[in-house]
Amino acid sequence: MSQTEPIQDEDTSSRKITYETVYKSLYDSIITGRFEPGKTLTIRGLAEQLGVSPMPVREAVRRLVALGALEMQSTRRVAVAQMTEQRFREIFKARTLLEPEISASAIANSSNALIQKLETIDDEIEDALDKGDVDLYSLKNWEFHFTLYRAANCPIILRLIESVWLQFGPFMRMIVGRLGTSYIVDQHINAINALKNKDEQALREAIRLDIFDGMDRIGEKLFGLHSQKEA
């Protein structure tokens, strides 16, 4: 081996891969709502479910607690964040402030490939809505938004949005499951058209309305909130 060739620490590399795999698995489960709000989880139970040791699970859980997705109950138990009226109001406002802006930033990096991918995802969303498939809708709705947001290449804003979605994903999935998909208005085609036309204002408005149409109905039904259209 050459003296200038770096020595690879296989144990360290393996631990990093395991941790990232565990984190991504838990992240995906929370953000798409596969864990219900308030659900209690144990480090050992998650480790057994994922087929890993407790250590990478504990590290991933700490990171998710810091993001507000999980709430620490004890050294061995955590719970998926509950939704309160105050938290709902803050999430509503954060989404309407952050997501239209990051969407507009994606215009500079728009391409035919991006537009085609968004159109494909939106077709899958429409199919899920027609079938009343709540799980598929939740997954594809998340995929549509984050495909668009990642194209903006704004990592700081993206991390803020991810934190908001991690706190809201389980609640959104539960409510869509309870109310069904019939109340959902798909504004994504308007967003795609605005992206094609490189119309920043139209794209901001399409994303704002997409957020509003879903969350306003939820807020009214669950908390008796009046329209937050101007929030």
CB-CB contact of 116 with 104 (8 Å): no
Q: Would the pLDDT of 8 be above 50?
A: no
Return d(Cα 194, Cα 54) in angstroms, integer. Answer: 46
Q: Are residues 189 and 219 in the same domain?
A: yes
Q: What pLDDT score was predicted for residue 5?
A: 46
* Beta bridge pairs of residue 79: 40, 71
Q: How far apart are CA 132 and CA 177, in angstroms?
A: 9
pLDDT digits (tens, 9 = 90+) for 144-170: 999 999 999 999 999 999 999 998 888
Q: Do residues 115 and 161 both lie within one domain?
A: yes
Which structural domain, as residue segments, surrounds residue 148?
A: 85-223
Residue 140: pLDDT band by 50, 70, 90 thresholds? Answer: very high
CA 182 to the chain's CA centroid: 21
Query: Do 202 and 194 contact (CB within 8 A), yes or no?
Result: yes
In a domain, 18, yes or no: yes
CB 105 within 8 A of CB 155: no
The pLDDT value given to residue 220: 74
How many angstroms separate the CA atoms of 100 and 89, rounded?
Answer: 17
Here the CATH number for the domain that contains residue 27 is: 1.10.10.10
pLDDT tens, position by position, 16-66: 778 899 999 999 889 888 888 888 999 999 999 999 999 999 999 999 999
Q: Are residues 109 and 197 in the same domain?
A: yes
